[in-house]
Amino acid sequence: MRCLLIASLVFGSLAALGGISSPSHGAEPLNLLVITVDDMSCDSVGAFGCKLPDTTPNIDRLAAESLRFAHAHVQVGNCMPSRNVMFSGRYPHNNHVEGFYMVREPGYRVLIDYLKDAGYYTAIRGKTSHSTPYTRYPAWSGVLDFTPDGKAPHVKDAPSYYASTKQGIDAARKAGKPFYLNVNVSDPHKPFFNEGKRPDPHQPSRVFTAAEVPVPGFLFDDPEVREELAQYYSSVRRGDDCVGQVLKALDDAGLKERTVVVFLSDHGMPLPFAKTQLYYHSTHTPLCVRWPGITKAGAIDDKHLVSAVDLMPTLLELLGIASPEGIDGRSFAPLLKGETQDGRDMIVTEYNENAGGFRHPMRAVVTRDYGYIFNPWSNGRRVMSTATKGTITYRRMKALAPQNKEIAARLDLFEHRVPEELYNYATDPDARNNLANDSQHAAAYKKLTSALEDWMKRTNDPMLKVFQGRGDAGLREAYMAQVESEAAARRAGKREKVGEDGEAGTKPKAKAKKRKAANK
C-alpha cells in the first residue's frame, strides 16, 4: 500500500503541474495493458485498410475506441530486437540487443523497472525471453506463461489469453497495486493455421480461402502463394481472436475505464520483402492507444510519424512517471491529447542480425513520401540469411525464376540487394522501383542521406564511417568482415542462449566504448 500511495502522490503532483491530467480519474493511478501481435502487417488490420474484409473485428473495435496512428513504425524487422527497442527507448546499437542473444549487463533500465518502482504489479504473457535484455528479468512480478496448476497453455490458444489476462489482473488486485500487463499474442507468426495441412486444434473464428485473399504488391500472384496467404490471414484472424479474449478479460474485470490500452505489431508479415527487412511494409505498425478520458474515440493522427523507440517515454509520461536521461526516444504523449509536435516528419529504422546469428546490417529512413535503405553487406555475391526463406512463397520464387524474368529480378534483389535503395512510398509503397540513381529524385536522395548521417552522429551508430564512405566497396567489405567475425564468435557459443529461437550474448560495455571512440 505504501508503494501505491507513493505512485498516487507522484501522479497527483504531475497532474497539478500540468504534466498529466485526467478529469474523470483524479490522482488514482491508471493501469496499463500493452498488447502486441507477432509478425502482423499493418495493412492486414481492417481499421488500417486491409483489403480483405473481416480479418480483425476485435482489433477494429479497439481501434474505433482509440487514437490510431497512420504513420507509426517499429524500428526493426524482427522480433527480439524490435521489442527491446519498445521497452528500452533506445536504438539497437545503443541497447546492445542487435540480435537474438541475451545481454546480462545492459547498463540501463527498461520500462518495467520504472513501473515496478512506481508501485505497479508487472506481468507478461508470451515473448518473455524477447522483451527484456535478458531472462529471467527480475522486475517482472509475474510471468503468465503458465496456469496456476503449472501447465503451459498453447501460444495459439485464444481462450488461454483470457485466463492469462485475468490471472494478471487478479494477482495485481491481491497485491493491492495497479497493473502493467504486457500480453504478446503469438499469431500470425509461423507456423500458420493449417500449415502443411497438419491437424490444428486451435481453429480461428474464420478461415480464409486462397481465392479471396489479396496478394501484396511486393509479392506475386500464384496459386501456391495464395494458399500460404490464406494460411497467414487465417492466422491473423486467430490472433484477433486472442486479442478479443484479452480485452474481454479487462472488460469483465470492470477496469476498462481505468486502463490505458496500447496495441501494435512487432513488424510485418513473415514473408519475403516484409519480415527481416526495412521496407515500408516491414516496419509499418498498426499502433492505436486508448487512454480513458484523454484520447478521442475513432481519432486518426495522419500527420505525425511516431516509432517504437518513442513508446517507453510516452507510456511513462502518461502514467506520470519521469523518463530517464540518455534514451533515444521522445514521448508522443502530447499527440494523444490532441496536440501537435515538431520534428515528427522522419523515422530511422535499423536491422543487424537474424535469429541464426547471421549479420546483414541495414539502416533506413522513412518519411511520409520516401524511403531510403543502406545495405553495406550487399556486394553482388553475399546472400542474405532470413527466416522467410522457409516459406512456400520463397520456394515458388526459386522455382519460377528460371522461366520468369520479373520473378528472377525480384529473387536477385531479395537475395543480394544493392548497396542503396530509394523509393517513392507515396506512389510505390511496395518498393518496386529503385530511384537511388534517378536524377529526378536527387533532392530526396540528398535530404534522406543527410538526415541519416546526422542521426548516425547523434546516436553514435558504429556504421557511421562506412556510410560516409558508402561508395567504397573495400570499406564496406572491411566493415562486414568485422561484424561477421563478431557474429561467428556468438554462434560458436561464446554467448548464452536466449531460449525460444535465438542465441545469447555477453557484456556490451567494452564494445560500446570502442565504437564510440572509433566514431569520434
Question: Which pLDDT score, from 0 to 100, does residue 429 have?
Answer: 97
What is the DSSP secondary-structure string of 435-504? -TT-GGGHHHHHHHHHHHHHHHHHHT-TTHHHHHTTT-HHHHHHHHHHHHHHHHHIIIIIS---SSS---
Nearest alpha-carbon partner for 232 in 255, 265, 279 = 265
Buried b (16+ CB within 10 A) or exposed e, 57-67: bbbbbbbebbb
Measured between alpha carbons, how far is 78 from 97 in angstroms, rounded to an integer?
12
DSSP-derived pairing of the beta strands 67-69 and 347-353: unpaired
Contacts of 353 (CB under 8 A, 6+ apart): 81, 98, 99, 100, 359, 360, 361, 487
Measured between alpha carbons, how far is 208 from 118 in angstroms, rounded to an integer?
45
For each successive 10 residues of the chain (520 residues), what is the average pLDDT?
38 35 57 98 98 98 98 97 98 96 95 98 97 96 92 96 98 98 98 91 97 98 98 98 98 98 98 98 98 97 98 97 96 97 97 94 97 98 95 98 98 98 98 98 98 98 98 97 90 57 39 40
Residue range 348-387+416-519 forms a domain whose CATH class is alpha beta
Measured between alpha carbons, how far is 13 from 305 in angstroms, rounded to an integer?
30
Burial class (CB in 10 A: 0-12, 13-18, 19+), 208: buried
Q: Is the peptide bond before 188 cis (omega within 30 degrees of 0)?
A: yes
H or E stretch including 366?
Answer: strand 359-366
Report the interhelical angle of 79-88 vs 311-318 (nearest 10°). 40
Q: Are 193 and 233 in contact (CB under 8 A)?
A: no
Q: Are 364 and 372 in contact (CB under 8 A)?
A: yes
Q: How many CB atoms lie within 10 A of CB 278?
A: 27
Q: Is 9 left (phi over 0), alpha (psi -120 to 50) or beta?
A: alpha
Question: Which pLDDT score, from 0 to 100, does residue 494 have?
Answer: 56
Measured between alpha carbons, how far is 8 from 29 in angstroms, rounded to an integer?
6
Measured between alpha carbons, how far is 480 from 478 in angstroms, rounded to an integer?
5
Q: Are 464 and 456 in contact (CB under 8 A)?
A: yes
At which residue does the C-alpha cell 510516452 appear? 314
What is the DSSP secondary-structure string of 387-448? GGGGSHHHHHHHHHGGG-HHHHHHHHHHHH--SEEEEETTT-TT--S--TT-GGGHHHHHHH
Measured between alpha carbons, how far is 437 from 420 in angstroms, rounded to an integer?
9
Measured between alpha carbons, how far is 426 from 265 in angstroms, rounded to an integer?
22
Q: Please, which residues bridge with residue 265 across strands?
A: 37
3-state secondary structure of 486: helix
Half-sphere exposure of 69 (CA within 13 A, CB side): 28
- Ordered by start, the domain boundaries in the chain are 2-339, 348-387+416-519
Q: Are 349 and 283 in contact (CB under 8 A)?
A: yes
C-alpha cell at 99: 540480435
Cα Rg of the chain, angstroms: 22
Measured between alpha carbons, how far is 396 from 394 in angstroms, rounded to an integer?
5
Nearest alpha-carbon partner for 290 in 21, 37, 32, 50 = 32
Measured between alpha carbons, how far is 494 from 512 in angstroms, rounded to an integer?
18
Distances (CA, A) of 193 to 89, 223, 236, 327, 494: 34, 18, 9, 39, 36
Q: Give 2-339's CATH code, choosing from 2.40.50.100, 3.30.300.30, 3.40.50.10610, 3.40.720.10.
A: 3.40.720.10
Measured between alpha carbons, how far is 298 from 64 in angstroms, rounded to an integer?
4
